Amino acid sequence: MSHQHRHNQPSLLETKDLSKRNLQSWLLSAPSLIWLTAFFSIPYLIILIYSLLTPDIYEVKFLFSLNAYRDIFSGLYFKPFYLSMRLAMITTMLCLLLGYPVAYLIARSSEKWKNILLILIIIPFWTNFIIRIFSWRIFLSTHGVMNEVLMALNLISSPIEIIRTDLAVIIVMVYVYLPYMILPLYSVIEKLDFTLLDAATDLGASNRQAFFKVTLPLSREGIFAGSILVFIPALGAYLIPQLVGNQNALYIGQIITYRIKNIPRNWPVASALSLVMLIIIAMILLTGYYIYQKRRIRKLHENR
Amino acid sequence: MKTGKIYQKLNLTIFTLVMVFLYIPIIILIIFSFNNSKIVAGWKGFTFKYYLLLFQNAQIKTAFQHTLIIAVTSTLASTVLGVLCALGLENKRFSGRKMMSALIYIPLIMPDILMGVSLALLFNFLRVQTGMVTVFIAHVTFCLSYTVIVIQSRLAGFDYSLVEAAMDLGAKPWLIFWKVKFPLMLPGIIAGALLAFTLSIDDFVITFFTSGRGFDTLPIYVEGAIRRGTITTINALSTLMIGFTLFLVVVTKRIRKLLLT
């Protein structure tokens, strides 16, 4: 406390040194600041501008128009948004249900096993994204490996149609995003004080009670981080629905891509849809941040 | 205690299932790359044919070259920017710290499609011809956050006693940086660079939006081949790419060990 206090009122010499260091920090981060402003922030401004223009077959006419927003609010794009939200939610839930036991098991293994198991989780994650999706196509397709094996074993008489359904999309989404859930969960569970768990069971709590009252609340931050890392990218999924999904019920990522790439193009609508997605993401993040801050303040009060 | 055993068994079962789930598609892909058949279904005998076809395919060769050029250049650029930025953020009292952190963390979770669309429109707005340069810019943009975070996390656990010792001995700041600090930072820099490299060779969506016609990277080529249905060589290509990834993982481990001992 006193240490912090002293730094709040620095001496003259310190102030000079601090402002020099501050300037140094600005100079060092300036290239990244400029790069990200130019190629990450400003492009969203361009999206905003393009959403207010008139569509053309190939590009845009620089004429003000609100038609893109009229289209969106007419409910034409309600279903793709609903499908994407649903997909992101189901994917997040399944990743959590499958990822938690895995993260828990890794976190409680011996040091040597921990490293081996973590690498086993990470290797598929490092394997090329598109190749992983492609391998699922081989596995799930009507005359694919799964159906051939099941039929050879006489478990089914005709192939199961999984490819080109929402189920196929969910399977591959969980496959791709699972490590994003496991790793943050692992890093939180690993730091857990397991003596608390022993204390709870010693005091007569059943294993289930101990899990729900001690382990789960203490790993909340990992659950939160993992869910955000899965949910938000899942919301914009394009390639997975495109390669294994049902082409009669498109997700929002596909619609945006089609409006950008396929002729006749409609860039204003694609831009407006992207903005709506951005607003949904911003709302999720802000809510998450708000809850997190509130919890932190409460914790500070409790500690006092 | 009995229920505890059941939970442990359940955990182990789920773990095993997840492992099978993670590896089955990859293993099948590898096996089928040696299958002597035009279509994927059914085993028709062992062959190396598709690996040979792969090396004769000029399109794959150019796509491979493009992928490497983009990966190497964007890794270099994002690592240099990342080192500088991480050094800047090291100062806890830096007045732009909060803003810079936000600017670095937000791109991490943005869906690829939003970054792709926004960059595509930016390049259209500026009337820039899409191609190698635009893909390079896009790749540096999404790699930068990762390199900064990886390098920064290494700096956070930094042993300053060595730097202080060098200062006490009267070394010049630049000399301290190159002789003491930089070597200590090196494992973090290499880890960040390798991550950037793998992210770059892996990317499809953002490249899809920012590459023009005639500038295909490997993922773009693979997607096109899947769409056209000419997929037999893709199995072989995929297997080689998986092998390359494993190679990178091993190299990372080795380098880390060498640098840490």
On chain A, the residues whose CB falls within 8 A of the CB of B144 are 32, 35-36
Q: Is B219 within 8 Å of A208 when comparing Cβ atoms?
A: no
Shortest Cα distance from B68 to chain A (angstroms)?
A: 14
Cα→Cα distances A245→A169, A203, A248, B238, Å? 5, 51, 9, 21
Number of A/B CB contacts below 8 angstroms equals 244
> Domain-by-domain residue ranges, chain A?
1-45, 52-303
pLDDT of amino acid A93: 97
CATH number of the domain that B231 lies in? 1.10.3720.10
Q: Tell me how far the alpha carbon of residue A246 is from its chain's centroid.
A: 22
Please count the structural domains in chain B.
1
Of B14, B40, B91, the CB nearest to A144: B40
Q: Is B198 within 8 Å of A145 when comparing Cβ atoms?
A: no
A22: contact with B, CB 8 A cutoff:
yes
Q: Is B111 within 8 Å of A119 when comparing Cβ atoms?
A: no
Q: How far apart are CA A255 and CA A270, in angstroms?
A: 8
Q: Is A270 within 8 Å of B117 when comparing Cβ atoms?
A: yes
Residue B172 counted as domain residue: yes
CATH number of A52-303: 1.10.3720.10
Q: What percent of chain B has pLDDT over 90?
A: 40
**Could you read off the pLDDT of B151-210 as tens digits, one per residue?**
998 887 777 787 788 888 888 888 888 888 888 888 889 889 988 998 999 899 999 999
Q: Which of the four pLDDT bands, split at 50, 70 and 90, describes residue B115?
A: very high
Q: Tell me how far the alpha carbon of residue B27 is from its chain's centroid.
A: 22
Q: Is A233 within 8 Å of B231 when comparing Cβ atoms?
A: no
> What is the Cβ-side half-sphere exposure of residue A304, based on CA atoms within 13 angstroms?
6
pLDDT one digit per residue (tens) for chain A, 304 residues: 444 444 455 566 667 778 888 998 999 999 999 999 999 999 999 999 999 999 988 888 899 999 899 999 898 899 999 999 999 999 999 999 999 999 999 988 888 888 888 888 888 877 788 888 888 888 888 777 788 888 888 888 888 888 889 999 999 999 999 999 999 999 899 888 878 878 888 888 887 788 888 888 888 889 999 999 999 999 999 999 999 998 888 999 999 999 999 988 999 999 999 999 999 999 998 998 888 888 878 877 776 6
pLDDT of amino acid A1: 41
pLDDT of amino acid A118: 87
ipTM of the modeled complex: 0.90
Choose, out of B3, B9, B18, B141, the residue to mutate when testing the contact with A (most A CBs < 10 Å): B18
Query: Which residues in chain A belong to E strands, given as ranges?
Result: 54-55, 60-61
Q: What is the mean pLDDT of residues B220-241?
A: 83
Residue numbers of the domain that contains B110? 58-260
